[in-house]
Amino acid sequence: MKKSIAILAGDGIGPEVTKQAIKCLDAVAEVFNHQFIYHEALIGAVAIDATGNPFPEATEKVCKTTDAILFGAIGHPKYDNDPSAKVRPEQGLLSMRKKLGLFANVRPVNSYEVLLSISPLKEEIIRGVDFVVFRELTGGIYFGEPRGRSEDGDKAFDTCVYSKHEIERIAHYAFQAAAKRRKKVTLVDKANVLATSRLWRETVTKLARQYPEIELDFMFVDNAAMKIIQNPKHFDVVLTENMFGDIITDEASVISGSLGMLPSASLGTRQSLFEPIHGSYPEVAGKNKANPIGSILSAAMLLEYAFQLHEESNLIQEAVEKSLDKGFTTEDIFKENAKTTEEVGDRIASFIYSKNKALAN
C-alpha cells in the first residue's frame, strides 16, 4: 500500500515524539511492504514565528492533499501568560479541527499491567479498564458565537451552541464503536442545567432506537468525573460534548499512569488526524526525555482508522506493550533507570522489525 502522511510536529516535545512515531511507521512499512510518504508542515508557535499564522494556508493544503495527518503538540509558554496576545498557537489547532471538519475525537483509555503500580489509583480499581471517549471536537463553547468582552471591558462571554446534526454525526460513530465492543454508550452531559445538554439527551435518545442492541445510559458530568476514578470499569463508550470531553480525558489519563501514554484520533468525513493527548510540555522539550508512546500509539490508530491496516496497527500496540513489560520507559513512568525518548522509540521499532525476522524464519 502506498500512502501519504502529513507530519505536523508542532511545538515543544512535538517534534521529538513524532520522530519516534515515524520510526515505528517506517518499521511497519518495511515489515509489511508498504510505502509511506511524509510531508512536513508548520503549525502552532513555530508557524507563528515563521509566517504569523498558527495554521498557515500551505499547511491546510498539505492536510487536504494527504491521506492522513500525524500531529505532535501545540503551545508555547510565551503566549500562556500574555492575555493580550493576538494570535495564539492553540488557535492553529482549533482552526485546523474546524477547517478540516474533524468533529469526532476518539480517546481510548486503558490500563497496563506493569503500570498499575505507578497510578495513584488502587490497582483493583484500574486493572482491566478499557473504555473509549468520543469527544465532539468542532462545536460547543469552544466555537460558539458571540464570544468576547463587553465594551467597557467589565464582562467576558462565551456561548455554547449545538445543533442536532452536530450531535447526530458523532453519536453514530459512538454507537458503531459500541457495537464492536461491550455494547454500552454512556452520554455524559449536564442536562439538569444546560439547554445544549438537553438537546444532546433528546437527540441521542432518538438516535439510539436505530441501535437496539446497544444499551444507552446517561450521566451528569460532575458525577462522571467522580465515577471515572471511583469505578472506571463502569464505562465502555463515553459520548460527550467538546469541553466535558477535554476535561474528563485528562482526568482519565491517570488510569494509564501517565498523560504521555494516551493517543487520539480526530475523525471527519474527509480527513483524519492522529495525535497524543498530551501538550507541548515545554519543560522537557529538546531534552530527549519525553514519553513517545502517546505519539507511537497515535500512529497505530492512524493505521487502523485511516488505512484499515489492522494487523499493522496491532503490531505497534504489541511492540509498545513488550517494551513496557521490560520496564523500558521514560522518566514520567519509572524514574529509576529511565530511558530517553530515542531509546524507547528505537526499542519499540526494533520489536516491530523483529516480526520481519519471525516471518522470514
Give me the residues that bind ligand IPM (CB under 6 A), please: 74, 90, 93-94, 246, 277
**Active-site residue flag, 99:** no
The entry of Mn ion, ligand IPM, none that residue 93 binds, CB within 5 to 8 Å by partner kind: ligand IPM
User: What's the closest the beta carbon of residue 226 comes to Mn ion, in angstroms?
Assistant: 19
**Active-site residue flag, 173:** no
Site string for Mn ion, 188-227 (x = CB under 5 A): ----------------------------------------
Closest residue by beta carbon to ligand IPM: 90
Interacting residue with Mn ion among 136, 189, 246, 304 (CB under 5 A): 246
Contact call for residues 257 and 126 (beta carbons, < 8 A): no
Q: Which of 79, 142, 162, 281 is catalytic?
A: 142
Q: Which is nearer to ligand IPM, 90 or 130 (CB)?
A: 90
Nearest to 1 by CA among 358, 315, 309, 351: 309
**Active-site residue flag, 11:** no
Mapped onto helix, strand or coil, the DSSP state of residue 131 is strand
- Cα–Cα–Cα angle for 348, 353, 356, rounded to 5 degrees: 145
Distances (CA, A) of 44 to 9, 72, 98, 101, 224: 9, 10, 15, 18, 32
Q: Is 154 annotated as a binding residue?
A: no
State the Cα torsion 88-89-94-98 to the nearest 10°. Answer: 100
Q: Which is nearer to Mn ion, 22 or 248 (CB)?
A: 248
Q: Which is nearer to ligand IPM, 218 or 244 (CB)?
A: 244
The entry of Mn ion, ligand IPM, none that residue 215 binds, CB within 5 to 8 Å by partner kind: none
Q: Which is nearer to ligand IPM, 90 or 346 (CB)?
A: 90
Residue 129, all three cell numbers: 479498564
Listing DSSP states for 341-354 in one string gives HHHHHHHHHHHHHH
Q: Which is nearer to ligand IPM, 87 or 94 (CB)?
A: 94
Mapped onto helix, strand or coil, the DSSP state of residue 283 is helix
- List the alpha helices (DSSP H) in 231-340: 242-256, 293-305, 310-325
**Active-site residue flag, 250:** yes
How many CA atoms are closer than 13 Å to the CA of 93, on its beta-carbon side?
24
Do the bridges between strand 130-136 and strand 104-110 make them parallel or antiparallel, or are there none, so unpaired?
Answer: antiparallel
The entry of ligand IPM, Mn ion, none that residue 90 binds, CB within 5 to 8 Å by partner kind: ligand IPM
Do the bridges between strand 148-149 and strand 156-157 make them parallel or antiparallel, or are there none, so unpaired?
Answer: antiparallel
Q: Is 158 annotated as a binding residue?
A: no
Q: Is 149 annotated as a binding residue?
A: no
Q: Which of 67, 130, 250, 346 is catalytic?
A: 250
- Match 500551505 to its residue by C-alpha cell: 58
Binding residues for Mg(2+): 222, 246, 250
Binding residues: 97, 107, 135, 222, 246, 250
Give the interface with Mn ion as residue ranges (CB under 5 A).
246
- Annotated catalytic sites, by residue? 142, 190, 222, 246, 250
